[in-house]
């Protein structure tokens, strides 16, 4: 059982709780991006098991009228075992999702996985009938070049600041430099993409900048934020534009919950207050 404290950031342990959360989000006009927690598998059985679960999940979503999609992590589908395992599992999910009309996002992990992740995305985006999207990280030096290619590929692109610290020469870690890169990538996307832009950020400055760029270029876009972070802002923004919430769920919630609590003082205070109030 997930303690109430962690339920702010994780929808529950089962598909049923994740779908119920999606239903509640939809009532606030917010879409749900469901993510089964799990990563860095070093043997096939867990990677294949999570692939099976995703296939069942997209069938379940397809049987509802929910505004919901999924987001998968390459290392959850077997990338640490072998690129071929990741690609085969991803293809299986995308094939099932295509038949159910469900969109599939591919998360981006550390910089050593960027090439194989973008390759897999590009192949599926060009060849499959399914809607697919990929995440790119503004803190990597290569991202402006990747965006040039991605502008020519069908599918969506989620721009994030980046959750993994890249080594020197590969990317930046200084916050002001990352913010500057995020703005620059965002501008490139609004300028060169015809559609398919997702702003994956909680940062009011970046969300305002996206609105300015939209007013200038007219390119449609959506905002994506994590479950439990700036929930009121998500509801408010959804009155004006498409907003999607990234919704983690599943048995492996503990390390994800600690990551959320550690990353910001407010989250740690929230956790401490909840613990003290019993
Ligand atoms: P930050 O620089 O962390 O914060 C900027 C400002 O945003 C803060 O000053 C504050 O005003 C506001 N803010 C941020 N967090 C909070 C909070 N908890 N409470 C209140 N205000 C807050 N990273 C990857 O590397 N790969 C992925 O595939 C990936 N997918 C993601 C998907 C989504 C939908 C989102 C939202 C993020 C994803 N990330 C991913 C994480 C991302 O890279 C960042 O680490 C994370 O979003 C923090 O950056 P930020 O843009 O929100 O702004």
User: What gap in Å lies between CA 135 and CA 120, rounded to an integer?
Assistant: 12
Q: What are phi and psi of 173, to 5 degrees?
A: -120, -20
pLDDT tens-digit readout, 96-111: 999 999 999 999 999 9
- Structure confidence at residue 108 (pLDDT): 98
Interface TM-score (ipTM) > 0.85: yes
In a domain, 26, yes or no: yes
In a domain, 120, yes or no: yes
**Percent of the chain surpassing pLDDT 90:** 88
Query: Residue 227, SS3?
Result: coil
Dist. CA 201 → ligand 1 center (Å): 5
- For 141-157, what is the mean pLDDT? 97
* Count: domains in the chain: 1
Q: Is 100 exposed, middle or buried (0-12, 13-18, 19+ CB in 10 A)?
A: middle
Dist. CA 76 → ligand 1 center (Å): 21
Where residue 75 falls among pLDDT bands split at 50, 70, 90?
very high
pTM over 0.90: yes
Where residue 5 falls among pLDDT bands split at 50, 70, 90?
confident
Where residue 263 falls among pLDDT bands split at 50, 70, 90?
confident
Is 262 near ligand 1, meaning CB less than 6 Å away? no
Range of 91's domain?
Answer: 16-254
- For 158-165, what is the mean pLDDT? 97
CATH classification of the domain holding 47: 3.20.20.220
In a domain, 196, yes or no: yes
Query: Residue 198, SS3?
Result: strand
**DSSP of 15-43:** HHHHHHHHHHHHHTTEEEEEEE------S
In a domain, 276, yes or no: no
Where residue 136 falls among pLDDT bands split at 50, 70, 90?
very high
In a domain, 263, yes or no: no
- Structure confidence at residue 237 (pLDDT): 98
User: What gap in Å lies between CA 17 and CA 135, rounded to an integer?
Assistant: 25
Q: Exactly one of 60, 80, 146, 158 is catalytic; name it.
A: 158
Task: Give the containing element (helix H, strand E) for 70.
Answer: strand 68-72
In a domain, 167, yes or no: yes
In a domain, 270, yes or no: no
3-state secondary structure 98-117: HHHCCCEEECCCCHHHHHHH
pLDDT tens-digit readout, 188-217: 999 999 999 999 999 999 999 999 999 999
Cβ(62)–Cβ(96) under 8 Å? no
Higher pLDDT, 111 or 130: 111
In a domain, 177, yes or no: yes
Give the closest residue to 193 by CA, choosing from 218, 160, 161. 218
Is 270 near ligand 1, meaning CB less than 6 Å away? no
Where residue 272 falls among pLDDT bands split at 50, 70, 90?
low
Give the residue whose CA is nearest to atom 10 of ligand 1.
Answer: 203
Query: Residue 245, SS3?
Result: strand
Q: Exactly one of 60, 107, 146, 179 is catalytic; name it.
A: 107
Q: Is 129 a catalytic residue?
A: no
């Amino acid at each position: 059982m997930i303690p109430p404290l962690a339920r702010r950031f994780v929808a529950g342990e089962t598909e049923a709780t994740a779908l119920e959360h999606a239903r509640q989000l939809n009532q606030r006009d917010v879409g749900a991006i469901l993510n089964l927690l799990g990563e860095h598998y070093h043997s096939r059985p867990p990677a294949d098991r999570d692939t099976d679960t995703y296939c069942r999940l997209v069938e379940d979503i397809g049987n509802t009228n929910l505004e919901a999609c999924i987001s998968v992590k390459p290392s959850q589908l077997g990338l640490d075992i072998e690129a071929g395992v990741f690609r085969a599992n991803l293809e299986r999910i995308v094939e099932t999702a295509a038949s159910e009309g469900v969109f599939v996002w591919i998360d981006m992990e550390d910089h050593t996985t960027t090439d194989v992740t973008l390759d897999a995305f590009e192949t599926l985006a060009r060849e499959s009938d399914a809607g697919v999207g990929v995440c790119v990280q503004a803190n990597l030096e290569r991202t402006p070049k990747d965006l040039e290619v991605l502008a020519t590929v069908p599918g969506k692109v989620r721009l994030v600041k980046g959750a993994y610290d890249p080594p020197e020469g590969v990317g930046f870690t200084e916050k002001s430099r990352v913010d500057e890169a995020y703005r620059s990538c965002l501008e490139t996307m609004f300028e060169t993409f015809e559609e398919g832009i997702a702003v994956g950020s909680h940062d009011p400055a970046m969300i305002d900048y996206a609105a300015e760029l939209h007013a200038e270029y007219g390119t449609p876009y959506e905002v994506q934020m994590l479950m439990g972070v700036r929930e009121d802002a998500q509801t408010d923004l959804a009155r004006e534009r498409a907003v999607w919430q990234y919704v983690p769920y599943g048995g492996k919630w503990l390390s994800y919950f600690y990551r959320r609590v550690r990353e910001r003082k407010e989250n740690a205070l929230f956790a401490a207050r909840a613990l003290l109030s019993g």
